[in-house]
Structures are given as C-alpha cells and as structure tokens.
A = this chain, B = another copy of it.
Amino acid sequence: MFGRKKRRLDPLIRQLMEWVGETNVLYRREDLVAYECDGFTLKKGEARAVVFPADTREVAAVVRLLHRENVPFIARGAGTGLSGGATPLGGEVIISLVKMKKLLRVDLDNRIAVVQPGFVNLKLTQSIADRGYYYAPDPSSQYACTIGGNVAENAGGAHCLKYGVTTNHILGAEVVLPDGEVIRIGDEGIPDMPGYDLLGLLTGSEGTLGIVTEITVRILKAPQGKQTLLAYFDDVEEASRAVSDIISAGILPAALEMMDRTAIEAVESANFPVGHPLDIEALLLVEVDGIEAGLKSQVEDITELCRRRNVREVKTARDEKEAAAWWANRKTGFGAMGAISPDYLVQDGVIPRSTLPEVLGKIREISRDTGLRIANIFHAGDGNLHPLILFDERKPGEKERALEAGSRCLKVCAEVGGTITGEHGVGIEKREEMRFVFTKEEIAAQIRLRDVFNPGNLLNPGKGFPQPGRCAEVKQEIKERRMAEG
C-alpha cells in the first residue's frame, strides 16, 4: 500500500525525500497551506513542496537537484517577513531552515557568535546575556524570527537608530549559491574585506542571491545602564518636532519610537496595555543607554526638549519591569491592531526626519480620501514610518483600497526624498513601488547583478523587482502538472 502510494508521488518529491528523509518533505495540499504566505498575508500562493534540510550538505544537495531539474525554490525562516519575501507565487519548493537552529559558537574574546540560519534572533541575546553581551538588531518579531531571515531581509528594529541594522552586525556567512555551490564570504571582524563587498550585497537581497547556512555575527557588550522615557503630546506635529530637536541636539538615543492616537487606542485595547492616556495625539518612547553616569543628563535634556514642544507629560520608567512593559506594549503594536480592526496592512516607508510633520499630514489626507483609518507606530528617530492601514477584508473593495492607500503612503515618502522600505523589504508587496525610487535602467542594472549569482532566476523568482520574472510561467507549469496528475 505504502509502496503504491509512493509510486504515485511526483518523482521530484521522491528525490527530495532521498536527500532529506521522508518525514522532512511536505507535499500534501493540506500541509502546504501553512506556507502559502508569510507575515504579509494579502497575497498567497501554493508551493510544490516544503523540505526541511538538517545541514549545509543537505541544503546544497537539494539546491543542486532543483537547479538540475529547473524547479524554482525559496529559502524560508520563521515566515515572519512583512513583504512576502518567502511567499510562493506558485510551484516553488520551499527550503525551510527551521531545523538548522543551532548556536554553533560564542567567542567573547573576538566578540562574535556563529549561528545556523534557523536560530531565533532573541535566543542569541538570551544565550549570552549572563555574560553581559547581546545581539543588537531587534525586529519586533525577534521572539520568533530567525537570524537567517534577518540576513535575507536586512532586518531592523527599534534599537537600530543607534546600533544599525542587520548588515552592520554580520561578519561572515556560509552561502549555498543557486547552483548548489557552497562558498564562504566575509570574515570575523575585518573592517574592509578585499574584493567587492559580497556580504553586504547578500544581506538584504531578499533571498534572491543565495541561501545562508551559517552566519557569523558581531555581539556587543550590554550597555552599563539604560533609561526609558515616555512623553505624551497633545499635538502630532509638536511630537514630530521634538524628535528632530532631540537628534539635532546631538543626543543619539538607543531607540526613539512614536505612536499616534489610533495606534495608542489599539495597543491599549490589546494584550499589553500600560495605561497610556487615550486622549493624547502622540507619544514618544525613548531609550537612552550607555555609561550610567551620563544617562541622567540625557534624560534631563530630552525632558527639557519635549517641554519646549509643549509636552503634556514626560515620565521615566521607575524600574526595568516598567520599561519592559512599555516595550512589550510597543513591540506587539502591529498585532494589537487586531483589537480595533478585522484586518490591517502595515507599510514601511522612510523619510528625512525633518519632513515628518509634512508626511504625517499627507498620510492623514490619504486616510480621509480612502475612508480607511491609518495608525502610525514607527521608528521616528531614523524616519522609518510604519503606517498601519485598517480595513475589513469582508467588505467588498476594502482590501484593494487598503493596498492603494499603502502604495500612496510610499509615494509620499519617495516624493519627499525618502524611499519605499526601511526594513521590511520589497518582496512581492512593493515590487511595483520600486518604480517610485528607481529608473528602468537602475532596475535593469540590479537585475543584471542578480543574474550573476542567480542566472536562471530559480531562487525566489518574482521577488524584489517590478518584473514578475518566471511567476507567470511557473503558475502555468504547476497548473498543467496538477492537471496531468489528475
């Protein structure tokens, strides 16, 4: 019986099973449903199979097989990405890296850690915290997202204002190229590597240039002290100006976050309320860190700058517990939208800090025009906006209007000299919006660059660029194959 069932299997699935073991391949439609999108849920597709390799050798073997068979494939971590970078367009084999989740080495003398791609971001800090170290990039999904996924998307986070995004913390990687060749790039803490900066090129390439199977990251000594402040404003513009004032004054907070009224309504209605007043127009959440002795004067300076912008109230967290509660309230902010809206779409634009009041005004206009509420929770310090467009998918046309509103928000960002993504990536979500910031020639140059590593465009096709690449073909292929299989 089992034998007969196997014989009916897609021969590719059988070959995949030979490499990674039978239990490490999913191929039934019901099993594939969980992989039809990532954290960007508005577009979905069906994979041909999902495989779970155990090590680099297995990844390379699977890739060689798929390359030889001309089958498109996608690397996937925890699937928390917000632009659809790990979403199948139809017919790809997903190479899930969640079984490759070891912390391989910690070397405090040289301040590095070596991890497998499926290792969860937050676990790294948890593993080294007792020795006084941490890993800086902290996407809000850090309790779940993997460092491999962070490399693919060049993930940011609240503390990237002071400490930089993922690319600033990656020192080396083992990479399986799209033809199955395994290379190592970068090294342990070299300021300027010889040759071109392939590691920088790979980081943030949204899974289109190679699959990382081992990553060397920089770890940092935890700062001696921290202070967390909350500032409540009756006016969004005043809050925005306070942000510029703080940075212009030469203070570089570890984090400088902003939420507007709608966002506050959501986070206070969800799982981690902390008692923010519901009648303010904006709040700033500010963290300063460093040598204990210097923190007090920074807190005083920030407080004073907020006062000059007519802040209603500024308070400092009494203790770590209170600060942690404020952060949990902030970091679960996107999900909190569920408390006030059936669906939401988060966007990710970047603007010069000084244009913040102007851009927030234009986002309010978009909200009025489309009749959709838009909440704003964002990394104000580095001008990285996250408009959250609230809608109800059940109401006809609302999803489309939400997508339209998101796109218009990005256009506003591009128009003031910013860009269309700060940390979430382009994925499938913002492919067309690439045209807001790049000319046809610039996009063509990028694609030529991709083709150096990924000439057949088998690895994560259709992502990152306006051209749908192989997607249409692939969709047709899977349809025909399914029909042939009956």
Looking at A61-69, A227-235, A261-269, A444-452, the stretch in contact with chain B turns out to be A444-452
Q: Which residues of chain B come closer than 8 Å to A194, judged between CB atoms? A: 419-421, 425-426, 430, 434, 437-438, 464
A190 at the interface (CB under 8 A from B): yes
A188-B352, A445-B453 in contact; A248/B109 too (CB < 8 A)? yes
User: In the complex, which of the residues A160, A200, A203, A465 has the most CB atoms of chain B within 10 Å of its own CB atom?
Assistant: A200
Looking at A11-19, A141-149, A286-294, the stretch in contact with chain B turns out to be A286-294
Q: Which residues of chain B come closer than 8 Å to A453, judged between CB atoms? A: 445
Q: Which of B109, B181, B422, B437 contacts A191 (CB 8 A)?
A: B422
Which residues of A from 243 to 265 have beta carbons under 8 Å from B?
244, 247-248, 250, 252
Which residues of A from 123 to 170 have beta carbons under 8 Å from B?
132, 153-154, 156, 160, 164-165, 167-168
Q: Which of B183, B437, B450 contacts A196 (CB 8 A)?
A: B450
A290-B294, A422-B192, A445-B452 in contact; A197/B353 too (CB < 8 A)? no
Once the chains are docked, how many angstroms separate the CA of A193 from the CA of B221?
Answer: 28
Contact A464 B195 (CB under 8 A): yes
Q: Which residues of chain B come closer than 8 Å to A91, judged between CB atoms? A: none
A297 at the interface (CB under 8 A from B): yes
Annotate A410-422 by CB proximity to B: 1 below 8 A, 0 otherwise.
Answer: 0000000111111
A441 at the interface (CB under 8 A from B): yes
A109-B244, A203-B197 in contact; A189/B291 too (CB < 8 A)? no
A201 at the interface (CB under 8 A from B): yes
User: In the complex, which of the residues A196, A297, A464 has the most CB atoms of chain B within 10 Å of its own CB atom?
Assistant: A196
A181-B441, A188-B352, A247-B111 in contact; A195/B434 too (CB < 8 A)? yes
A379, chain B: closest CB distance, angstroms: 8
Contact B205 A446 (CB under 8 A): no
A467, chain B: closest CB distance, angstroms: 13
Once the chains are docked, how many angstroms separate the CA of A252 from the CA of B461?
Answer: 43
A160-B191, A165-B191 in contact; A196/B449 too (CB < 8 A)? yes
A323 at the interface (CB under 8 A from B): no
This chain: copies in complex:
2
Q: Which residues of chain B come closer than 8 Å to A197, judged between CB atoms? A: 154, 167, 197, 200-201, 203-204
Q: Which of B244, B292, B350, B441 contacts A183 (CB 8 A)?
A: B441
A423 at the interface (CB under 8 A from B): yes
Chain B residue, CB-CB nearest to A153 = B192
Chain A interface mostly: loop
Contact A189 B154 (CB under 8 A): no
A398 at the interface (CB under 8 A from B): no
A478 at the interface (CB under 8 A from B): no
User: In the complex, which of the residues A192, A193, A420, A430 has the most CB atoms of chain B within 10 Å of its own CB atom?
Assistant: A192
A91, chain B: closest CB distance, angstroms: 25
Which residues of A from 9 to 56 have beta carbons under 8 Å from B?
none
A278 at the interface (CB under 8 A from B): no
Once the chains are docked, how many angstroms separate the CA of A422 from the CA of B190?
Answer: 6
Q: Which residues of chain B come closer than 8 Å to A185, judged between CB atoms? A: 442
Q: Which residues of chain B come closer than 8 Å to A87, judged between CB atoms? A: none
A183, chain B: closest CB distance, angstroms: 6
Q: Which residues of chain B come closer than 8 Å to A347, judged between CB atoms? A: none
Contact B354 A109 (CB under 8 A): yes
Which residues of A from 438 to 486 have beta carbons under 8 Å from B?
438-439, 441-443, 445-446, 448-450, 452-453, 464-465
Q: Which residues of chain B come closer than 8 Å to A434, judged between CB atoms? A: 194-195
Once the chains are docked, how many angstroms separate the CA of A340 from the CA of B233?
Answer: 66
A354, chain B: closest CB distance, angstroms: 5
Q: Which residues of chain B come closer than 8 Å to A160, judged between CB atoms? A: 191
A187 at the interface (CB under 8 A from B): yes
Q: Which residues of chain B come closer than 8 Å to A250, judged between CB atoms? A: 132, 221
Q: Which residues of chain B come closer than 8 Å to A383, judged between CB atoms? A: 189
Q: Which of B154, B417, B422 contacts A188 (CB 8 A)?
A: B417
- Show 7 A/B contacts (Cβ-Cβ < 8 Å), sorted by A: A156-B192, A167-B197, A191-B423, A195-B438, A196-B201, A196-B204, A224-B294
Query: What 20 new A-B contacts, CB under 8 Å, besides A193-B204, A195-B464, A221-B250?
Result: A110-B352, A164-B168, A164-B191, A185-B442, A187-B350, A189-B352, A190-B422, A191-B423, A192-B423, A194-B426, A194-B437, A194-B464, A195-B434, A195-B443, A196-B446, A196-B450, A198-B445, A291-B298, A293-B294, A445-B452
